[in-house]
Amino acid sequence: MTVGTARHGDLRIAYEVDGPPGGRPLLLVMGLGLQMLFWPADFRELLVDRGFRVARLDNRDVGLSTHLTGLGVPPLSAFVRRRWAGGYRIADMAADAVAVLDDLGWQSAHVVGVSLGGMIAQTVAGRYPARVRTLTSMSSTPSPRIGRPHPRTWPVLLSRPAPTREIAAQHIVDVFRVIGSPAYPHEEDWLREVGAQSFDRAHDPDGIRRQLAAIVSSGDRRPMLRRVRVPALVVHGDADLLVRPAGGRATAAAIRGARLVTYRGMGHDLPTALRPAIADEITRLSDRWQPDA
């Protein structure tokens, strides 16, 4: 495993890489408030076994990347008005991802994002088309107004920040009991362990709120996505309560030629049983990339 830090202006973006140097470059982008640790090791191994060199990063405001504490906490008005004066946007987070590609020396890569990471991946494809070989958007949406969270998710998502390592670890378990896949077992021991590790690396509830403000302030990406010409895959669960299936359908409808794959009983997570199938879909998509296109 290779560990690195990319620079984007004054920001440092932490990343790690798995797989052989000669593998097809693939960048994984994680979702709201979650560190790179939440990409399961067996899923990364499935991708490496299929010939990829797999990089994953900590988005700004989580993990070992720069935390923008100087921006403070977005006020409630930022969420009501969908505007955060002085804050950052998803486009800024997309530029962070491109900085990782630069640091790795990758002129282009297959880009895979989940949830907020899917929004970032969409934006990389729209704003930096030459840097993206293929786009995979999972459990995501092109607009904060499409596929809004089910009210059942609100109590756990709006709970107070965890004050201790143990409570933080249990909170992750509680969250995925609500938003995870109802048709598949939840890996609660793994979730608890990764939740504890995340608390040890960097516990920053204000950073999560800044990321959320970036989501609601970034508007509708569909006009940009209509210009995307790279091969695209959209993966969604029909039981996703956090980003409901309308988000996946809207993403696929906005991208010319995109393939929409919907899994029955899948929620807002990556069930163990579905990981080989999803890795196969990403691999088949990568085969469509034409270097001279």
Residue 116: which domain range? 2-148+206-286
Q: Is residue 30 part of a domain?
A: yes
pLDDT, averaged per 10 consecutive residues of the chain (293 residues), comes to 90 97 97 98 98 98 97 83 87 98 98 98 98 98 96 85 93 96 97 98 94 94 98 98 98 98 98 98 96 70
What is the residue type of 1?
A: M
Structure tokens at 56: 């994953």
Q: Is residue 154 part of a domain?
A: no
Q: Is residue 155 part of a domain?
A: no
Q: Is residue 210 part of a domain?
A: yes
- The CATH number assigned to the domain holding 41 equals 3.40.50.1820
Q: Is residue 170 part of a domain?
A: no
> Who's near 1: CB < 8 A, 6+ residues apart?
16, 17, 18
H-helix or E-strand spanning residue 278: helix 275-286
> How many domains does the chain contain in total?
1
pLDDT score, position 293: 53
The interaxial angle of helices 116-127 and 205-217, nearest 10 deg, is 50
CA angle 10, 91, 135 (to 5 degrees): 120
pLDDT score, position 237: 98
pLDDT score, position 157: 76
Q: Is residue 38 part of a domain?
A: yes
d(CA 189, CA 226): 41
Q: Rounded to a whole number, what is the largest CA-CA distance in the chain?
A: 52
Q: Is residue 249 part of a domain?
A: yes
Sign of CA dihedral 148, 151, 155, 160: positive
Other C-beta atoms lying within 10 Å of the C-beta of residue 173: 17
DSSP 148-192: PPPGGGHHHHTSPPP-SHHHHHHHHHHHHHHHS-TTS---HHHHH
Structure tokens at 186: 């939840």
Summarised one tens digit per residue, pLDDT across range 153-205 is 988 877 888 899 999 999 999 999 999 999 999 999 999 999 999 999 999 99
pLDDT score, position 125: 98
Q: Is residue 114 part of a domain?
A: yes
Name the DSSP class of 272: G
